[in-house]
Each structure stands twice: as C-alpha cells, then as structure tokens.
C-alpha cells in the first residue's frame, strides 16, 4: 500500500500535442510519458517487441488513483471527526473558564467589601 502511494506521487503528468498526422486539430492532451513511468513502476507500461516502453496502462493508473483517493478520503473523514471532538472540548473549556472568571469576580468583590481593621498607631 505504501509503495503504491509512493508510485502515484512519483508520476509526473505532462501536456502534449500529437503530430498533425495523428491529430489534425492539434488539441492539447494530458498524460504520462511511458519511459518515465517505467522508471517508477515498470508494471504500469506496455512494452514493444524490443522491450522498450510503448504506452501507459492507464486503467491500472486509474485503479491506483481510486485507491489513493479512498485512502485519503478515509483520512480526511477521521480528521474531521477528531476536529469536531476537539471543538466540543474547546467549547467545554471556554465554558469552564467563563465560570471560573465569574467566580473570581465574585470573590474579588467579596474581598473588596471587607473593610480592613484600622489600627491605631501611637508613638509613645
């Protein structure tokens, strides 16, 4: 599974145009260079009679991408649940801090209301 992730991340998509005789419109295409893919994941390429990379097995790449997407989706779902739990904990902490601030204000008010005893100091 980890090797599959590394392979997907190592692939570098390119844009290109086919030669005029293959595509007279010259529309931009997107894909992978078979030689580059063969260096990363040899099983993803189709080879010619001489063993040289001929084309990419895109159906396999699609399956790998789907697997990666599902793995990342599960990870995001897990992180969202953890974040929601942290938000609940943060709300509880804020409520507790607010209650403590209220209690501190009450105690401060009570202390301020107590008059200190005046002591008479005599110099004899």
How many CB atoms within 10 Å of residue 37?
24
Which residue, among 57, 31, 28, 59, has the nearest Cα to 45 in the 3D structure? 57
Domain parsing of the chain, residue ranges: 2-109
pLDDT tens-digit readout, 26-71: 999 999 999 999 999 999 999 999 999 999 999 999 999 999 999 9
Three-class SS state of 99: helix
Percent of the chain beyond pLDDT 70? 90
pTM over 0.85, yes/no: no
pLDDT tens-digit readout, 38-47: 999 999 999 9
Sign, Cα dihedral of 24, 26, 27, 30: positive
Alpha helices in 1-124 (DSSP H): 2-10, 34-40, 58-113
> Where residue 112 falls among pLDDT bands split at 50, 70, 90?
confident
């Amino acid at each position: 599974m980890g090797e599959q992730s590394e392979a997907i991340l190592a692939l570098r998509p390119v844009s290109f145009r086919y030669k005029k005789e293959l595509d007279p419109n010259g529309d931009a295409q997107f894909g992978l260079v078979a030689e580059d893919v063969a260096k990363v994941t040899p099983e993803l390429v189709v080879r010619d009679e001489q063993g040289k990379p001929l084309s990419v097995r895109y159906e396999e790449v699609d399956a790998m991408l789907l697997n990666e997407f599902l793995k990342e989706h599960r990870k995001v779902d897990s992180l969202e649940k953890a974040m929601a739990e942290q938000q609940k904990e943060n709300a509880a902490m804020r409520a507790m801090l607010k209650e403590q601030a209220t209690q501190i204000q009450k105690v401060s008010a009570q202390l301020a209301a107590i008059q200190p005893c005046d002591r008479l100091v005599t110099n004899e």
